[in-house]
A = this chain, B = another copy of it.
Amino acid sequence: MKSTTKTLCGLSLLAPLAMAQSAEAKQRPNILFFLVDDFGWTETSLPFGEETYPNNMRFHTPNMERLAKRSVMMTNAYACPVSTPTRTGLMTGMNAAHMGITSFVSLCKDVVPDAIGGHPGSTNENLDDAFAHPEWNHNALCPVAFQNEAEIYGLNHTFYATPLPELLRNAGYHTIHVGKAHWAPVGTPGSNPYTMGFVVNIAGSGNGHPKSYLPEDNFGNLPKQGDYSSVQNMSQYYGTKIHLTEALTRMALRTLEHPIQQNIPFFLYLAHHATHTPVQSDERFIQKYRDAGMDEGMARYASMVEGMDKSLGDVLDFLEEKGIADNTIIIFYSDNGGFSIGNEKGGVPHTQNLPLREGKASVYEGGIRVPLMFCWPGKISADTRINTPVSTEDLFPTLLEMAGVKSYETVQTTDGESLVRLVTAGSKAVKKAMERGEITTQKQANAYVLPESVTGIDPERELVFHYPHQYRYEDQDDIDFLSAIRKGDWKLVYRMHTSELELYNLREDIGERNNVAAKYPQRVASMAKSLGNKLRGWNAPMPTVRATGKKVAMPDEL
């Protein structure tokens, strides 16, 4: 994949600036990025939708509710369908299709057993009868500072970029990684948070899920059972009663003591493994879900969700106790939608994200629409909702602007836009509309459109989602080989297998049940053209049709 250089204001970050920036840095806000894994949009008692859905009522997340009172909730926030594209997009500010990182690395062992046994790089599924899987950057992300080292070892199919934590660290931030990294497979520099510019790493590696959340399993480090997914840096909690989510939280708060004591601004990237499979109860919370009559899988899953929520509460308490809550930005996010093709987490497969269609790995809303909140004391109007669609690639420029990093260089061309004006001026505009009585209900809040003149973000801006892969052994029609583009209320889904284009109006049909493509052929053509142009422009990975040896057609070439 080709990289280009971008200088935001013509100044590079030269070494002599570091000292001056360091002095400035002391005035800068702390940033706490709270990232949850495979956590669905409706899997919380905090409803992001225009109404409270039955799914919302199954979960207890009081600390998300508490955070929402201090935050602006983004009701149309997106991520990529799977983990690695979202996580690398956070590091680079780019769309997954543009990076060529469209699937996850270190494939789960039910797809390719022993995929990471002793060799660098990743392997990829190639299981479909009709399509050969695309060439993509299956070694995912490598910080450009490690390009030479990577090339010595023959690393290919890799995207080189200047990662976000490096820019923050250079600006004087104490950058801390806790939890799941998953930017690149083991055996490559990108699997290591220290190469990304993190000053501290707890547990981050190439693994996409923990071998075990349970202390009695030593989090996967039992003799002769360990592998790349065994959780690292957790030896203190082996054999205790402390669930991984709690253990990561304690470690995260511990790492904050030093920068707080020394008055150094911190960037804490607290990336929980929860609520990814394996579904393993958090015993502190499970009983009430069983008592509520949930099936065992759902009770376990709900307890993991509440464990994650407890972590958030502990973080909020800690910031308050330390007296730094008012100078700490909190961003709450999930890396993709809730898992939906099995019943490990209870319920009926393909329904766990209702009213959203499907779940993780799909470009239907269940796979990509995620909770997102910004808590920015003094800068945003709290307890508000913004419905402007935003996505992963926006967070890179947003965080840098929040951190006051005005000049920086990246080797990659970023795709996202800073959301700072959207969440500051936008939330204030919403608050005024609430005070004027224009917004009195959740439904009205979710429907209130903020103009670009106020927010700097065009509400009709196009967002692209691209998953040119097969997810599992078995075909998943609503997941495999799909692309989508959203523009305003409209969403076009391209089903490559069947060469179909579907059109949905998300305002009227959030569940994507009513394909209105036949009714709006011009809109379909126009959106297909936009999607095709984006994918072509990015040289996005596309599968090959086995019968013809040609690449699958772009959506505007059908």
Asked if A328 CB lies within 8 Å of chain B CBs, one says: no
Asked if A249 CB lies within 8 Å of chain B CBs, one says: no
B118 and A194 form a contact (CB under 8 A): no
Given A224-B227, A258-B199, are A118 and B235 also a contact pair (CB < 8 Å)?
Answer: no
Q: Tell me, rounded to whole Å, the shortest Cβ–Cβ distance linking A408 to chain B.
A: 15
Asked if A19 CB lies within 8 Å of chain B CBs, one says: yes
Fill in one digit per residue for A226-241: 1 if any B CB lies within 8 Å of its CB, else 0.
1110101101111111
A251 to B288, CA, bound (A): 46
Within 8 A of B (CB), among A25-64: none
A169 and B223 form a contact (CB under 8 A): no
Asked if A3 CB lies within 8 Å of chain B CBs, one says: no
A254 to B22, CA, bound (A): 19
Interface of A is mostly: loop
B172 and A262 form a contact (CB under 8 A): yes
Q: Which of A124-132, A200-208, A363-371, A460-468 contacts B (4 or more CB under 8 A)?
A: A200-208
Within 8 A of B (CB), among A165-191: 169-170, 172, 186-189, 191
Fill in one digit per residue for A112-150: 1 if any B CB lies within 8 Å of its CB, else 0.
001011111100000000000000000000000000000
Asked if A217 CB lies within 8 Å of chain B CBs, one says: yes
A194 and B235 form a contact (CB under 8 A): no
B217 and A222 form a contact (CB under 8 A): no
A187 and B238 form a contact (CB under 8 A): yes
Q: How many copies does the complex hold?
A: 2
Which single member of B114, B116, B224, B236 contacts A187 (CB below 8 Å)?
Answer: B236
Given A169-B258, A255-B194, are A22 and B223 also a contact pair (CB < 8 Å)?
Answer: no
Given A120-B238, A153-B240, are A221 and B228 also a contact pair (CB < 8 Å)?
Answer: yes
Contacts of A233 in B (CB 8 A): 192, 194, 201, 205, 232-233
Contacts of A114 in B (CB 8 A): 223
Asked if A15 CB lies within 8 Å of chain B CBs, one says: yes
Which single member of B121, B192, B232, B251 contacts A194 (CB below 8 Å)?
Answer: B251
Given A118-B217, A222-B227, are A236 and B195 also a contact pair (CB < 8 Å)?
Answer: yes
Q: Tell me, rounded to whole Å, the shortest Cβ–Cβ distance linking A105 to chain B.
A: 11
Asked if A156 CB lies within 8 Å of chain B CBs, one says: no
Q: Tell me, rounded to whole Å, the shortest Cβ–Cβ distance linking A246 to chain B.
A: 12
Asked if A502 CB lies within 8 Å of chain B CBs, one says: no
Contacts of A169 in B (CB 8 A): 258
Residue of B nearest to A146 (CB): B236
Given A199-B258, A255-B194, are A235 and B228 also a contact pair (CB < 8 Å)?
Answer: yes
B230 and A221 form a contact (CB under 8 A): yes
Contacts of A170 in B (CB 8 A): 261
A240 to B226, CA, bound (A): 20
A313 to B186, CA, bound (A): 28
Asked if A225 CB lies within 8 Å of chain B CBs, one says: yes
A235 and B117 form a contact (CB under 8 A): no
Asked if A434 CB lies within 8 Å of chain B CBs, one says: no
A220 to B225, CA, bound (A): 11
Residue of B nearest to A25 (CB): B262
A110 to B70, CA, bound (A): 56
Asked if A18 CB lies within 8 Å of chain B CBs, one says: yes
A37 to B236, CA, bound (A): 22
Chain A contact residues, CB within 8 Å of chain B: 15, 18-19, 22, 114, 116-121, 153, 169-170, 172, 186-189, 191-192, 194-195, 199-202, 205-206, 216-218, 220-228, 230, 232-233, 235-241, 251, 254-255, 258, 261-263
Which 4 pairs from chain A and chain B are nearest by CB? Answer: A226-B226, A232-B232, A120-B239, A192-B236
Can you pick out 16 interface pairs between chain A and chain B where the beta carbons lie within 8 Å of each other? Answer: A18-B261, A117-B222, A118-B216, A118-B238, A119-B238, A186-B221, A187-B240, A192-B233, A195-B254, A206-B235, A224-B225, A224-B227, A226-B226, A228-B235, A230-B230, A232-B232
